[in-house]
Structure 1
Amino acid sequence: MLAAKEAQPDNFQPSYELGILYQSEKRKADALAAFSYAYDRNPSDARTVMAFALHLATDGHTDAALSVLERALPRSIETLRNIGMASQFTRFVTDFRHEEANALHEKAKPFRTTLDNIKKSITNAVQTQTPFAMVRIGDGEGTWLHRSTRDETRYGALYDRNREEFWNIWFGADQISAQGGFYAALTDLRHVLRTADVIGSPSLSWIRHEYEIASIRGVPGTINALRCALELKSRKAALFTESLHYQLDSSGFLKELLASQSRVGVMSCHPDIVDHIKGQFGVKDVDYYPIPGEPSRRHLHGEGTVTGRHFPDFFHKNMKLIAENDQRGRVVLVGGGILGKLYALRLKREGAIALDIGSIADKWMGKKTRPGF
């Protein structure tokens, strides 16, 4: 790419592509320089305008970012919308600079606990058959959970864009008619999240990563997830990083926990996980709650995954099953995306020890849906 830039110094395209490469490598200064070079040579290219403005904004040059957007001359409705959305992104990172992200992280410190303490809490809940819920909220929850009318007014176009992107990932664009009911269900999550015992939320390193790559979805998503965790947790709830499920698995804790149980529950899009849990952990009985896999990952999940409409069809069926079955004292592993938080908290209400394990189910089943699997 460098050779192409040198061979065509007046062509914006090689520099733009170089900026994308630097962005993927988290070389923010180099990415910004490359996008600047491309913008100087073609200030009318919509992709270059967006990339340059977003990197200026997350690098602290918000006035310069707004100036670039102000000078843009969009030639399509889509570009016009993107300019407005990028302006709101710039407003967001003006309100939540790196320093504010650090301040939020510091504010969360008094509520953070250790992995050993979480293990002890889960073990104690199992031994005493005390209802318990461990949930994790990341950029998806931070994107979809309503915070305030002020937020929606100030960043509405940005939030709408990111909600649509997550919706298409989770459920598919063909299920858009269910969005209203889904949003209504998430208003319940704002209330019941206060009943969680442990909440995993974005780490400072994750938030910094999103700033480094100028992610229009990741920056507000991670920041808002941390804001929600701080605002919605009860006084007794403990905070940990969102990667909690990976640490419980890699440390061997989940294996030991399951091996000590004769009967557990699992919620997953993989029907074969029942035999896996029986074979790998020696659990005699496994109650299975089927949910459809995300359409965006169906090619990774394989043909054996559950298909259908997660929301509202499977969601209401599973909530009914949870209420009808005796959950008292039972360990239930939940891998259900954003709806998994509602499942886990309902399971606790019915007496279970619910653990939001997310994509660990994919890992166990050999599905490479995340980096490092």
Structure 2
Amino acid sequence: MPVAKRSIAVVKKTDAPPRRRASPVPPKFIEPQLCLLAKQAPSGPDWVHELKLDGFRMAARINAGKVQLLTRTGLDWSEKYPATVAALKKLKVESAYLDGELCGIGPDGMPDFGLTQQATDGAKAIRLMYYVFDLLYLNGEPLAFLPLGDRKARLRPLLKGIAGCRYNAHEAGDGEAIRLRQCDLGAEGIVSKKIDAPYTPGNRGIWIKSKCLNRQEFIIVGWTDPEGARSALGALLLGYYDDAGGLVYAGRVGTGFSDKLLVDLLKKLQPLEIDHMPLAAPPPKRGRGKPLRPATTHWVKPKLVAEISYMTWASDGLLRHSVFVGLRADKPARQVRREG
């Protein structure tokens, strides 16, 4: 595993965009523009909307044929993603500074955070796509002070025909209608941006992210031991019945609990503990999150039903971004099926 090196930050958090100043080389690092989380997407003629991507925020610095991939904190991760570096070398530029999201792509063609993590950990056969949504510097010219619309107009033609890189397009219109449509398609959400605003490192407000969440019941099939300062239990293991009556693993949930709730849940689960896995097939060894360890995993009779909110399903059949909502005593476990 290569040792990550921190680049020197020359554009820092500020309430104003970087000053327009010519330079023969791009900045070593530009702190990324940030997003404000909102429940609904904004609308109006000043806003455009992009697909929210499930990967790693990554800047690409190109100078005299050398490509660096920089994390949102300025770490140089170029050696982790040689295929993406090779793709960016094909851009017909002398120098540039791009902002985007690096994503592993699942069999369904959608970004998959678990695959991105596997690629970062050294897995080789992972398809990566660098989605580029901003251009801050090009061939000696700083561009961050320009309106977003102008920056994107100059970015799009640079990426045409570059395999492994893709322009993250936007659309105008009713932001909430766009968000709901993307939610129906299984997307994570959208990011709404003011089309006439400059790039402002660290600012939250002229970019707004609104997510998609789903909710349904799952059967609690086990729990894991707590780690660190966590009390009682670490996460609940979830499942559902398929049409053949098999109990299918759906992933885990480790958020949405108070300390008291963790204790109460453990008291309910301990009398149900069994010495064998109740699932029809074992959980995948690779995928989202850490693999389950037998020494810290407890299986239970599939009796308790929990309501869970979640972003969507990953390509490996596990829940993404799940949150515990509460126990459901009004629905028998045998009736729990995967919805949608």
Scaled by the length of structure 1, the TM-score of the pair is 0.26
Structure having the larger proportion of residues in helix = 1
Scaled by the length of structure 2, the TM-score of the pair is 0.28
